[in-house]
Amino acid sequence: MSAERERALRDIQSDERSLIVAAGKVLADDKASTSLLVELLRTERRPENRQGILYALAWHSELSIWDQMVEIVADTTEHPKVRGQAAEVLSYMFIDREPGTRSFNAAVAVLVEATKDPSPEVRYCAAHTIGSSGYLPLRPHLEALLGDREPVDLGR
């Protein structure tokens, strides 16, 4: 394993936000770290760290994590930053999913529900992902959010 990857994997587990953000950027460019990041996601509980891990995974476009991302978005016990980041991960993979399939429909159902979430961050990220899906039957759900003026702090 490269020294840069080792350092980034250590830093993404740090308590220091600046290290987590920098590590997420390094690991986003390192698709060989996908399985290591997925394993970290299974064990890491801190929201800032989970968000950093998910940020890196978003750039890997690894379809094998689709169902896991759907579960995270649906899990209302997760921090809104984590749920929003998981929705963003899905946004990069929708192009590779076939409408009408079980996995596509599961994501759509979770994202539609997320547009009604109490957290503006979750609503924003769900809307972004629905929009990026290009799936026209979802347009009414986006239109329903046009009046949502609650500010979003993405804090990324």
pTM greater than the 0.85 cutoff? yes
pLDDT in tens, 35-73: 999 999 999 999 999 999 999 999 998 999 999 999 999
Distance of alpha carbon 25 from alpha carbon 8, whole angstroms:
9
Burial 143-152 (b: 16+ CB within 10 A, else e): eeeeeeeeee
**What is the per-residue pLDDT for 155?**
61
Please list, in sequence order, all residues whose beta carbon lies within 8 angstroms of the beta carbon of residue 78, skipping any fewer than 6 positions away.
47, 50, 72, 86
Distance of alpha carbon 156 from alpha carbon 138, whole angstroms:
27
Distance of alpha carbon 80 from alpha carbon 29, whole angstroms:
25
